[in-house]
């Protein structure tokens, strides 16, 4: 029998590529920038499997042009780039890579919080560019962490890991928002589940960890930043479109909040001349939350397992739309 064909839209780590190549004919997009939608549609039209990234739009027309496609394996926890209902309707499995990013992303959130709170970005730039003239009694004054309050917006796995680090390391009080109570957070941290408005008013640090959907898009805007303390630090390692970036820039510029640390923006990459880059109290990194060797290797392994299970007609280890199995029985 002919080996299944799999298109991989970027060079993922060999931990995944080697596994896929051992069982399938693999076509890997060779360039640094992702393929255009038109190129993607052409390359996947006779494939059984697709390994995609968040930069790849997978929608109904692309699926209709790919009648052999059985599975889309996303190299990410999120899957906002994929029209999951369209995949389900056509019997195409969708997989993702949850769990393995938790610690790396939590570490990045805490790193951004520290860097923003202690003016590391601004002071480092001043030192490098010759503006550090002497020891400054009133220079580069940041915010204290010990005993402060961390507000976790979305107490999922990553939010829980961030709370654990900040409560255990700095004795922070933990408040959080979540659709349902998280008794394990209450027990381990003495955490309190509160409404978003109360969280914003109480917290010295606010860290976003919610999914991007119709109800969360733009959830951090001018009204929300106005409710935060003037000494507050805002951190986003979830998704860029959660934030109204113009409102955030204004809040930082006017001193409505103290600082921000962003791993994600809208769009990505943020254009070099964007106003947020010009603000000394805003730290931006290029979506590096999962960028550790161990984490990216683990993501690649999960991607490979998902796509190979899908092309083989088996249940995906990490299945976004398991209802496809029932649909296929009909």
DSSP secondary structure letters along 60-80: HHHHHT-TT--EEEESSS--T
Q: Which of 74, 16, 73 is nearest to 49 (CA)?
A: 73
Q: Give the number of C-alpha atoms closer than 13 A to the C-alpha of residue 122, restricted to the C-beta side.
A: 18
pLDDT for position 140: 96
CA distance 137 to 42: 62
CA dihedral 97, 102, 108, 111 (to 10 degrees): 180
Among candidate residues 184, 268, 327, 328, the one labeled active-site is 268
Selecting among 167, 193, 287, 301, the annotated active-site residue is 287
pLDDT tens, residue by residue, 121-149: 999 999 999 999 999 999 999 999 999 99
> Which of the following is catalytic: 118, 148, 165, 239?
239
Q: Which of 151, 207, 158, 210 is CA-nearest to residue 176?
A: 151
Residue 179 sits at the vertex; the CA angle it makes with 174 and 180, to the nearest 5 degrees, is: 75
- Cis bond before residue 135 (omega within 30° of 0): no
- What pLDDT is stored for residue 329 in this prediction? 62
**DSSP helix, strand, coil percent of the chain (3-state; round to 5):** 40, 15, 45
Give the Å distances, CA to CA, from 312 to 24, 75, 90, 106, 321.
Answer: 10, 19, 17, 34, 17
Q: Is-contact 59 41, C-beta < 8 A?
A: no
- Does 268 participate in catalysis according to the annotation? yes
Q: pLDDT digit string (tens) for 175-189?
A: 999 999 999 999 999
Residue 211 CB contacts under 8 Å (≥ 6 apart), including other chains: 78, 154, 238, 239
For 17, the token pair is: 């590529």
Contacts of 273 (CB under 8 A, 6+ apart): none
Q: Is 11 an active-site residue?
A: no
DSSP reduced 3-state for 82: strand
Secondary structure class of 243 (helix, strand, coil): strand
Whether residue 239 lies in the annotated active site: yes
Pull the structure tokens for residue 327. 């649909």
151 touches 173 (CB < 8 A): no
Q: What pLDDT, on a 0 to 100 scale, did the predictor assign at position 330? A: 58
Q: Are 153 and 207 in contact (CB under 8 A)?
A: yes
Dist. CA 212–CA 95, nearest whole Å: 17
- The tens-digit pLDDT sequence of the chain (330 residues) is 689 999 999 999 999 999 999 999 999 999 999 999 999 999 999 999 999 999 999 999 999 999 999 999 999 998 999 999 999 999 999 999 999 999 999 999 999 999 999 999 999 999 999 999 999 999 999 999 999 999 999 999 999 999 999 999 999 999 999 999 999 999 999 999 999 999 999 999 999 999 999 999 999 999 999 999 999 999 999 999 999 999 999 999 999 999 999 999 999 999 999 999 999 999 999 999 999 999 999 999 999 999 999 999 999 999 999 999 877 665
Task: Decide if 94 contacts 87 (C-beta within 8 A).
Answer: yes
310-323 pLDDT tens trace:
999 999 999 999 99
CA–chain centroid gap for 127, Å, is 31
What's the per-residue H, E or C state across 139-206?
CCCCCCCCCCEEEEECCCHHHHHHHHHHHHHHCCEEEEECCCCCHHHHHHHCCEECCHHHHHHHCCEE
């Amino acid at each position: 029998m002919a080996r299944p064909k799999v298109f991989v839209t970027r060079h993922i780590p060999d931990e995944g590529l080697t596994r896929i190549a051992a069982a399938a004919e693999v076509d890997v997009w060779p360039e640094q920038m992702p393929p255009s939608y038109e190129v993607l549609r052409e390359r996947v039209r006779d494939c059984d499997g697709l390994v995609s990234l968040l930069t790849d739009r997978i929608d109904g027309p692309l699926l209709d042009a790919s009648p052999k496609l059985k599975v889309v394996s996303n190299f990410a926890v999120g899957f906002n780039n994929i029209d999951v209902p369209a995949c389900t309707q056509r019997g195409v499995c969708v997989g993702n890579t949850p769990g393995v990013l938790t610690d790396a992303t939590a570490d990045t959130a805490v790193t951004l919080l520290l860097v923003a709170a202690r003016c590391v970005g601004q002071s480092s730039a001043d030192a490098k560019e010759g503006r550090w003239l002497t020891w400054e009694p009133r220079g580069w004054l940041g915010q204290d962490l010990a005993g402060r309050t961390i507000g976790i917006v979305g107490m999922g796995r990553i939010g829980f890991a961030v709370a654990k680090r900040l409560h255990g390391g700095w004795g922070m009080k933990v408040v959080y928002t979540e659709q349902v109570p998280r008794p394990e957070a209450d027990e381990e941290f003495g955490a309190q589940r509160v409404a978003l408005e109360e969280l914003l008013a109480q917290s010295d640090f606010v860290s976003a960890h919610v999914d991007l959907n119709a109800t969360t898009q733009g959830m951090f805007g001018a009204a929300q930043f106005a409710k935060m303390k003037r000494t507050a630090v805002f951190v986003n390692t979830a998704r860029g479109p959660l934030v109204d970036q113009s409102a955030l820039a204004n809040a930082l510029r006017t001193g409505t909040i103290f600082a921000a640390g962003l791993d994600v923006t809208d769009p990505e990459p943020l254009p070099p001349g964007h106003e947020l880059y010009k603000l000394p109290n805003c730290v931006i990194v290029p979506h590096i939350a999962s960028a550790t060797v161990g984490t990216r290797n683990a993501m690649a392994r999960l991607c490979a397992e998902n796509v190979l299970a899908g092309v083989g007609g088996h249940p995906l280890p990490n299945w976004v739309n398991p209802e496809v199995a029932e649909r296929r029985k009909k």
